[in-house]
Amino acid sequence: MGGTLSSEHHLLNSAIMNAMVIAVSVGSLLKTQLQSLFSNRTTIEDSQLSFLDEDEMNNEFAIFDLGSRWDNFCSIFGKFPGTWLLPIHTTPGDGVNYKYVIRCGNEFATQTPPPRKKRFWKLC
């Protein structure tokens, strides 16, 4: 570089600060995406949920939430951990239609095609 010691320190400090900003930003994005992954919601659905009142949240739920974190995770990555990083098709479904849940009280019924107009179902 041929600069003075202070200019080298300035570049090093600048690189460290940039790395810290990027690490915080990517960490925040990772946290958000993992929360969406485990609840089986998209980022858009999560942002819509943040605008609902508490009363609306008690009467509505995401239809693609399969109930457990493991089921939600497997619906995206597949059931076999050894194939998660391989470039092969391991997820259930065709990539357009997904398994979802209709809830009425504590009863569950699955494998019904979702209506495209509504993202949430009201509890019975």
Residue of 110, 105, 104 lying closest to 40 (CA atoms): 110
Domain interval for residue 41:
5-122
| pLDDT given at position 91 | 72
Q: What is the 3-state secondary structure (H, E, C) of 1-24?
A: CCCCHHHHHHHHHHHHHHHHHHHH
Report how far residue 14's alpha carbon sits from residue 97's, in angstroms, rounded to the nearest whole number.
Answer: 47
Percent above pLDDT 90 for the chain: 16
Q: How many CB atoms lie within 10 A of CB 91?
A: 15
58-81 tens-digit pLDDT:
555 566 777 777 887 887 788 888
pLDDT digit string (tens) for 8-50? Answer: 888 899 999 999 999 999 999 999 888 888 877 777 777 766 6
Report how many domains make up the chain: 1
Q: pTM (2 decimals)?
A: 0.51
